[in-house]
Amino acid sequence: MHDLSHAYAAELAAAKPDESADALGRLRSWYLHSVRNAIGTRATSWIAYAVADPARGTSPARFDSPERATDWLLAHRRCLRSLLVDAAQSGDNDAVARLTPSLARFLKQIGATREAVELLTLAAECARLEGDRLVEAVCRHQLGHFLSHLGDEGAALSAYEEARALFAQLEHADGVLGSEIAIGATYATLGRVDEAIETLTEATREDRGANKRVLATGLNNLATGYLESGRIQEAKDAALRAVAAASDDEDNLKEDLAACYITLGEAQSADSRWSEAIETLGEAVRLCTAYGNLALQVVTLQLRGAAARELGDIDAARTDWTTALDLLDELGQDSVPVVLTPASGQRDDLRRLLAGLDAPAGDALT
């Protein structure tokens, strides 16, 4: 634990009740701003909300690189979870609601999906109790994202619809568009492809005024919808537009750009453009590696290995799939988003892929 955390813990143990509450408040404030600083080394949030200034006498941690921020978050992860649970039990709903969305972005990075669902469910309720519709909307939108990663699309759709309703009440245009895009993507996963394409086409119209990050996400999901319906060229066109939009957004999460490259690689693979797919997916691997998104890297390696297998490059396929299996063992089974590719990153599938490398190329699982 950080030295400041030790100091607060000692102060709490020795303090009178009023002094103890004050020290605990400073500890929560310090963690809130430290986590936000850590996440800020990677990108700004797509929906901003206000937080109080750091408590008197606190100096939140600052970081000079995403790698240092990640190391700090990993070191403090258990403390943060305990702090949030304690804050909820003691009625400090504001602390839970405002810290959790930032922490959830880190949990996404390391693939801690079930933990994120648990904490975001708690945070959304805390925000509701506080009457903070904006933070509640952010929590419910993020909750939908993680539920989708677990394959619970019905619950994800409900969470996204609740977020959209809250954003609409606040007349928050980016929030409404972001939720509509997520709803469209969920339609596609549920097999409601026509509804998905209609919703996503509407959301990505130029006159809707979406910012680059929201536009990139919408176009990326539209490309996935086209893939689901077998409209390969339209999928490639939408994916290329998504990559361009994500690349043009200076504040965009690099994982978002990586996701756009993954979809483009899938579209190129569907068009049997294997060499192009390998090059495109290589960009996604580079981004995932540089920014530490191991969960997304597993998906990318599985897809790139499949493309290499189709070209007859057995060694490259074996390397990618073995690396993906090793990463999955490190991350845990529920960490990889199941919606990005059928049965993506599942251990049994990866082992079957590796065992089938001597089979005819067309028999490879993609």
Cα 94 to the center of its chain, rounded Å: 23
Residues of the chain with pLDDT below 50 are 1-3, 6-7, 10, 13-14, 338-345, 364-366
Angstrom distance (rounded) from CA 190 to CA 176: 21
Q: Mean of the per-residue pLDDT values for the chain?
A: 86
Between helix 193-203 and helix 173-189 the angle, nearest 10°, is: 160
What confidence tens digit (pLDDT) does each residue in 312-362 have? 999 999 999 999 999 887 776 555 554 344 444 477 888 899 999 876 655
Contact 202, 180 (CB under 8 A): yes
Six token digits for residue 143: 């909750």
What pLDDT is recorded for position 23? Answer: 84
pTM of the predicted protein model: 0.75
Q: Using CA atoms, how far apart are residues 317 and 352, in angstroms rounded to an integer?
A: 13
Q: What is the 3-state secondary structure (H, E, C) of the chain?
A: CCHHHHHHHHHHHHCCHHHHHHHHHHHHHHHHHHHHHHHHCCCCCCCCCCCCCCCCCCCCCCCCCHHHHHHHHHHHHHHHHHHHHHHHHCCCHHHHHHHHHHHHHHHHHHCCHHHHHHHHHHHHHHHHHHCCHHHHHHHHHHHHHHHHHCCCHHHHHHHHHHHHHHHHHCCCHHHHHHHHHHHHHHHHHCCCHHHHHHHHHHHCCHHHCCCHHHHHHHHHHHHHHHHHCCCHHHHHHHHHHHHHHHHCCCCCCHHHHHHHHHHHHHHHHHCCCHHHHHHHHHHHHHHHHHCCCHHHHHHHHHHHHHHHHHCCCHHHHHHHHHHHHHHHHHHCHHHCCCCCCCCCCCHHHHHHHHHCCCCCHHHCCC
Q: Are the beta carbons of 205 and 224 closer than 8 angstroms?
A: no
Question: Which pLDDT belongs to residue 290?
Answer: 82
Q: How many angstroms separate the Cα of 168 from the Cα of each of 135, 162, 255, 318?
A: 13, 10, 27, 49
Whether 193 contacts 187, CB under 8 Å: yes
- Tell me how long the chain is: 366
pLDDT tens figures, 170-219: 999 889 999 999 999 999 989 999 999 999 999 998 778 777 888 899 99
What value does the CA radius of gyration of the chain take, rounded to a whole number of Å?
A: 21
Q: Can you give 290-351 as a three-state secondary structure string? A: HCCCHHHHHHHHHHHHHHHHHCCCHHHHHHHHHHHHHHHHHHCHHHCCCCCCCCCCCHHHHH
- The tokens 């690689």 sit on which residue? 265
Each residue of 340-351: b (16+ CB within 10 Å) or e?
bbeebbbeebbe
CB atoms within 10 A of CB 329: 11
d(CA 13, CA 10): 5
